[in-house]
Amino acid sequence: MEQKQRNITCLIIDDEEEACDRLETLLGKIPNVEVVGKSIDAERAIAAAVRLLPEIIFLDIEMPKHNGLEVVKSIRSNNVFPTFIFVTGHDQYAIKAIRSEAFDYLLKPVDIDDLKESVGRYTASKNEKLKTILPAKLKSHYSLTDREIEIIQLLLEGKTSKEIGDILFISSHTADTHRRNILEKTGTKSTAELHSFLNDLQ
């Protein structure tokens, strides 16, 4: 039986509650996307990003107290490196957004097709990265073995230790041991932290 694909976790940050709700509704129409949090307050949003470790953060740029560019810097200063997609009504920020290494830039009101395309490009980029760029870096910088890299790819797909064992013809206990070794070598404490860590390996 085909295994269920792991959901892409998302956090929405916008000082307008209606905008947060609308984007959540749109994201709910895209398969394998899960909104794990919303915030209309920049400082609370930064804390939520550190706690929840989402893969993608959709955020507005013009907000009270801290603008979106400052929020990006604050989140990264906490050693959390999600993919950022700006959602705003002000297209003059496009160049600044690109310089801040935002993955994409969507104008309000967000069109569902543009949103699907953006998420689709993120998924394709992540898959390509897992196949090519990451294995080399993980081997050279963190001494991960080919088997450990295989297991990382399965963990990121949401597979359990039992499912990993069945796929790789090893026991679930052995899969657990590999998982602990991976977390120790990369200095992470959970699969969610591992996701954030891998996002930082550009």
Mean pLDDT by 10 residues, the chain (202 residues): 65 94 95 94 93 93 86 90 89 74 88 95 82 79 88 83 89 91 90 78 60
Distance CA 57, CA 201 (A): 17
Q: What is the CATH number of domain 132-200?
A: 1.10.10.10
What pLDDT score was predicted for residue 5?
A: 59
What pLDDT score was predicted for residue 16?
A: 92
What pLDDT score was predicted for residue 1?
A: 34
Domain edges within the chain: 8-126, 132-200
Q: Are 143 and 54 in contact (CB under 8 A)?
A: no
What pLDDT score was predicted for residue 44?
A: 93
Could you tell me which residues are beta bridge partners of residue 83? 56
**Cis, bond preceding 64 (omega within 30 deg of 0):** no
The structure's pTM equals 0.71
What pLDDT score was predicted for residue 125?
A: 84
Q: What is the CATH number of domain 8-126?
A: 3.40.50.2300
What pLDDT score was predicted for residue 2?
A: 38
Spatial strand order in the sheet of 8-13: 33-39, 8-13, 56-59, 83-88, 104-107
Write the burial class of residue 17 (CB in 10 Å: 0-12 exposed, 13-18 middle, 19+ buried): exposed
